[in-house]
Amino acid sequence: MIDPSDFIITRKRKKYKFALFANSPLCFEGDAWVKRHVDVIELGAGTGHFSVELAAKYPNKVFVAVDVKADRLQKGAAEAEILGLTNILFVRARADQLPELFEPASLESIWLTFPDPFPKKRSAGRRMTHPNYLQRYKTLLKPSGSFYLKHDSRDFFLWSLEQFVDEKWHIDELSFDLHESELSEDYKIKTAYEERWLGEGIPTNFVKASL
């Protein structure tokens, strides 16, 4: 039997995490975000651990982790604050809000890390590598910019590759088992989801694409 008090505790924890998000100088709601210089964004960032690692490695670049879940982003913000990082911010927003958040042709890189694959055909339009989204990414990247995708689902990944090709993106680097490849160590920084899938023996699919 489920104890009703469990729901109360969970609710209190969520409220506490939202309060931490609201009070962090590194965290912003999408509608309160002011456009500024940004080099790299991570979409579907979850806790933002991946971006935190990159921000620590490249202090001269500005990173933004974007996700719809404030309680997840709060964890990354706490990690960044402990490390004393000032070159990373966390924004709670949807992918369709990106043109409102960032200047056109301003981003050096966009990372999409383990988005929801929405496996049902009728949900294809919600996939974050759907042509509608790819068009938005094109407007935000600099002419020399790159888009990076990491994912555990081979079906979703292959479908995404088809969209890149159809939309005239150039495939610069590709691996169906990133951590066994000789590609850059930056690419191999693990997200929380990635740690889980690798622990279950599921390889990471990776692609770097450009305009």
Per-residue pLDDT tens for 178-207? 999 999 999 999 998 899 999 999 999 999
Q: Which of 31, 96, 116, 155 is catalytic?
A: 116
> Are 58 and 108 contacting, i.e. CB atoms less than 8 angstroms apart?
no
Catalytic, 71? Answer no
Q: Where are the domains of the chain?
A: 4-210
Per-residue pLDDT tens for 118-176? 999 999 999 999 999 999 999 999 999 999 999 999 999 999 999 999 999 999 999 99
Q: 175: closest CA among 184, 183, 185?
A: 183
pLDDT beyond 90 at 22: no
pLDDT beyond 80 at 211: yes
Question: Angle of helix 131-140 relative to helix 154-166, nearest 10 degrees?
Answer: 60
Q: Compute the distance between CA of residue 152 and CA of residue 79 in angstroms, rounded to an integer.
A: 25
Structure tokens at 161: 């590759």
Q: Which residues face 90 on adjacent strands?
A: 27, 65
pLDDT beyond 70 at 4: no
Instruction: Name the DSSP letter for residue 205.
Output: E
pLDDT of residue 3: 57
Q: In terms of C-beta density within 10 A (0-12 exposed, 13-18 middle, 19 or more buried), how is residue 203 classed?
A: middle
Per-residue pLDDT tens for 60-111? 999 999 999 999 999 999 999 999 999 999 999 999 999 999 999 999 999 9
The answer to whether the predicted template modeling score (pTM) of the entire model surpasses 0.95 is: no
Q: If you average pLDDT over every residue of the chain, what do you get?
A: 92
> What order of strands is seen across the sheet that includes strand 27-29?
27-29, 88-92, 63-67, 40-43, 107-113, 141-151, 205-210, 170-175
Q: Would you call 106 helix, strand, or coil by DSSP?
A: coil
**CATH 3.30.365.10 is right for the domain spanning 4-210:** no
Q: What is the 3-state secondary structure (H, E, C) of 15-67?
A: HHHHHHHHHCCCEEEHHHCCCCCCCEEEECCCCCHHHHHHHHHCCCCCEEEEE
- The size of the chain, in residues, is 211
